Amino acid sequence: MEILIQARDFTWYEALIRLIAAVTVGCIIGIEREYKNRPAGMRTHSLVCLGAALAAVLECLLTESILTFGSEGMVSVSIGRISAQVISGIGFLGAGTIFISQKKISGLTTAASLWNVACLGLLIGFGYYLLALIICGFIMMVLIGLQQVIHVNTVKRVEIRFTNRPAALPYINDYLQKNNIKVLDIDFHIEHVPEAEKPEQNVYTNLYTLHLPSNLHFSDMVSQLSENTDIQTVRTRNV
């Protein structure tokens, strides 16, 4: 886009302030991802925001240097070319945080936060501090606040190890049915104990793929199932 720009001085300390602000904003969003042990955490978000801000500052410096050669301080220039490469290039980094395991896609939220952080870096690099701060608040509200307001239980895999199968298995099935827990899939494994005198002493492992109702948390289910003396281990698994 061809526009007319008035030349102005762009000092080195103003560029430094913008870069420091970019690192700070990226760090704020990255801490939330780091806390949830996501693939891209505090350092990645800080570097992405810093790099985007650096690209914007570079574009400002190049534009200023071009304007100094214009007659009477006015010259027609094309801006936004470097910034456009940041927006398109961040997609490769975001794709690296997305992975598929057991037909489940993970990392989409982290990839989206990286893309937003890059945009924040461009805003700060061009000097729009207030707008970047407001949008940073919106991003944190989506990452933290929205999950608290709207609770959605995702599908999880739960591993249950137990003995005394004739008593423990009906107990587990009865618990799942009473709490309206939907069983999507189940895998099982039997571990024979050589010194066991009775079949009830063998160790059984069932791996459930479950979807819980909104009023029940996985932590509550784990603690309640563990109360049964025949159940040895109850744990959630990511894959």
State the SS3 of 160-172: EEECCHHHHHHHH
Q: What is the pLDDT of residue 4?
A: 44
Q: What is the pLDDT of residue 3?
A: 42
- Which pair of structure tokens corresponds to residue 160? 């249950």
Q: What is the pLDDT of residue 78?
A: 62
Kindly indicate whether the domain formed by 156-237 is annotated with CATH number 3.30.70.260. Answer: yes
Q: What is the pLDDT of residue 174?
A: 92
Q: What is the pLDDT of residue 5?
A: 44
143, 32 in Cβ contact below 8 A? yes
- Bridge partners (DSSP) of residue 154 are none
In this prediction, the residues of the chain whose per-residue pLDDT falls under 50 are 1-7
Tell me the three state secondary structure of residue 156: strand
Rounded to 5 degrees, φ, ψ at 233 are -140, 135
64, 36 in Cβ contact below 8 A? no
Tell me the three state secondary structure of residue 160: strand
Q: What is the pLDDT of residue 103?
A: 56
Each domain of the chain, given as residue ranges in start order, spans 2-149, 156-237
Q: What is the pLDDT of residue 105?
A: 62
Q: What is the pLDDT of residue 125?
A: 87
Phi-psi region of 177 (alpha: psi -120 to 50; beta: other; left: phi over 0): alpha
Q: What is the pLDDT of residue 155?
A: 64
Has this prediction a pTM greater than 0.75?
no
Q: How many CB atoms lie within 10 A of CB 237?
A: 12
Q: What is the pLDDT of residue 52?
A: 87
